[in-house]
Amino acid sequence: MSTHVASPSTTDRPNPAGRAGVVLLLATLTAALTGPGQTIGVAVFIDHFIEDLSLSRAQVSGAYLVGTLIGASMMPWVGRFIDRRGVRRAQIIIGVLFALALANMSRVNGLIWLVVGFTGIRLLGQGSLSLTSTVTVSLRFREKRGTALGLFATVSGALMVLTPVGLAFLISVVGWRSTWLVAATVILVTVVPFAWFGMRGMPTGNDHDVVKIDPAQEDSLSDRAHGRDYDRAEAMRTRSFWMLAVVTGAASMLATALNFHQIDLLGEAGFSETAAAALFIPQIIGSTLAGLSVGYISDRVGTRFLPAAGMVLLVAAHWLAAVASPGPTVIIYAIVLGSTGAAIRTISSTLLPTWFGTTNLGSIQGSLTLFNVGASALGPVALAVAQSGFGSYPPAVMMLSIIPLAALLFSLGQDRNRRPIAV
């Protein structure tokens, strides 16, 4: 554990307690604004790419896969950059670059340029800016980190659902190319000022000793064995890291697959395109319930079985998708699928600093993001191939439910070699 104590004049001293809510709000809005770089936002543009660029659906899907994988491969480097430079400076730089990447999408004129464009928005939006927001909340909140991260995941996820609605409206008014420019402008005038004006004095991962601990917790903390924080290499040698990688990777892969193919999947079950799209809305209910519940449980009950609980939700989502039909079943499916995403995001962002400390949090979480983003790229392809092989979606999603079942079993094991860390 670092023994560095920040002086009152350092720019890295923690924000006053009264500003914690402001930081949480700004980080949540920043995460929501990554929508144009997320699958849910990109999906609105797919048909326009196919029509205007004279590309096939397979070519666009392949470009998305390649761009996502290239972007994911750079996430460990992004994490180290956040650790070294701090979240405020990182968000300013990443925000500017993300705006440029979005503007670049307005000029795409072929397959290669599309791959480059997807690489930029996936690396800087879904990957880097999301990572910066999560690390910001983890560093700012220590005593009630689970609750804060639960609120963060819940509200940012709910706001992000509005992204395709806004983008679709803009496309109908100004066209798809100009819509990318509008999105770039929005990022530039929000995300960058959020960091510049709202995150002054944010603590870094090394600022352990300047964070006050609730006196009521001091006795319990003194009874714990303490050790220094992990670096990335040490964390990746633990079973705990790989358990989280498996659990979050399974969720990223399969939740993305179900969302990506939702219109087609539910269309096969008898839903119109409008009705299938509307079922994204109940996911907000599930996301809200799960995010708040998981955050509360992690702070007050414990975290031992949270990863396993997340996998139970993912298995249930697959089984419900296989039997979805007009009526209550499909509503329950949408709620459970929304619950899965929020639960896993909260679980992952809560357990990483709890298990490995905050000194190298960006680097460690960046490595985990590498697996998550890569898995999210493979999910839609895996479901499409399975559906093609079986000829319909129900047996395909049932087969893929084997993945979260295996992750569930893996998550129940204990890591006896992971040493405790200081709070």
pLDDT per position as a tens digit, 276-285: 767 777 888 8
pLDDT per position as a tens digit, 197-211: 888 777 655 554 333
Compute the residue count for the chain: 423
pLDDT per position as a tens digit, 237-251: 898 899 999 999 999
The pLDDT of 177-188, averaged and rounded, is 96
DSSP 125: I
Which range of 4-18, 355-369, 386-400 scores highest in mean pLDDT? It is 386-400
Q: How far apart are CA 102 and CA 177, in angstroms?
A: 10
User: And the tokens for 321?
Assistant: 């998708």
Asked whether 129 and 348 are in contact (CB, 8 A), the reply is: no
Residue 204 carries which side chain, given as an amino acid letter? T
User: And the tokens for 348?
Assistant: 């992952």
Q: How far apart are CA 244 and CA 247, in angstroms?
A: 5
pLDDT per position as a tens digit, 120-163: 999 999 889 998 998 898 888 877 787 888 888 888 888 887 88
Q: How far apart are CA 361 and CA 344, in angstroms?
A: 18
pLDDT per position as a tens digit, 393-402: 999 999 999 9
Domain pair 17-198 / 227-411, same fold:
yes
pLDDT per position as a tens digit, 42-66: 888 888 898 899 988 778 888 888 9
The pLDDT of 363-389, averaged and rounded, is 86
Give residues with Cβ within 8 angstroms of 146, minimum separation 6.
294, 295, 296, 297, 298, 299, 303, 346, 350
Q: Any idea where the domains of the chain sit in the sequence?
A: 17-198, 227-411
Which range of 72-81, 140-149, 284-293 scores highest in mean pLDDT? It is 72-81
pLDDT band for 3, please (50, 70, 90 cuts): very low
Please choose, from the candidates 153, 147, 162, the residue with its C-alpha nearest in 3D space to the C-alpha of residue 286.
153
Please choose, from the candidates 150, 379, 181, the residue with its C-alpha nearest in 3D space to the C-alpha of residue 287.
150
Query: To 5 degrees, how large is the angle CA 34–CA 245–CA 346?
Result: 50
Task: Tell me which of 71-75, 95-99, 107-111, 149-153 is least confident.
Answer: 149-153
Q: How far apart are CA 382 and CA 252, in angstroms?
A: 12
- A 10 A CB-CB count for 199 gives 25
- pLDDT at position 143 is 73
The pLDDT of 77-87, averaged and rounded, is 89
Phi, psi of 211 (to 5 degrees): -95, 125
Fold of 17-198: Growth Hormone; Chain: A; (1.20.1250)
Which range of 212-216, 317-321, 413-417 scores highest in mean pLDDT? It is 317-321
Residue 239 carries which side chain, given as an amino acid letter? R
38: exposed, middle or buried (Cβ count in 10 Å: 0-12, 13-18, 19+): buried
Give the dihedral sign, CA 32/35/401/318: positive
User: And the tokens for 372?
Assistant: 């998550």
Give residues with Cβ within 8 angstroms of 239, minimum separation 6.
413, 415, 417, 418
- Cα–Cα distances (Å) from 170 to 51, 173, 187, in that order, read 18, 5, 15
- pLDDT at position 18 is 44
The pLDDT of 304-333, averaged and rounded, is 90
Give percent above pLDDT 70 in the chain: 86
- A 10 A CB-CB count for 327 gives 8
Span 227-411: which CATH code? 1.20.1250.20
Q: Is the pLDDT of residue 369 over 70?
A: yes
pLDDT band for 419, please (50, 70, 90 cuts): low
The reported pTM is: 0.74
Give residues with Cβ within 8 angstroms of 22, minimum separation 6.
15, 198
How many Cα atoms are found within 13 Å in the side-chain-facing hemisphere of 179?
20
Q: Is the pLDDT of residue 169 over 60?
A: yes
Q: How far apart are CA 328 and CA 314, in angstroms?
A: 18
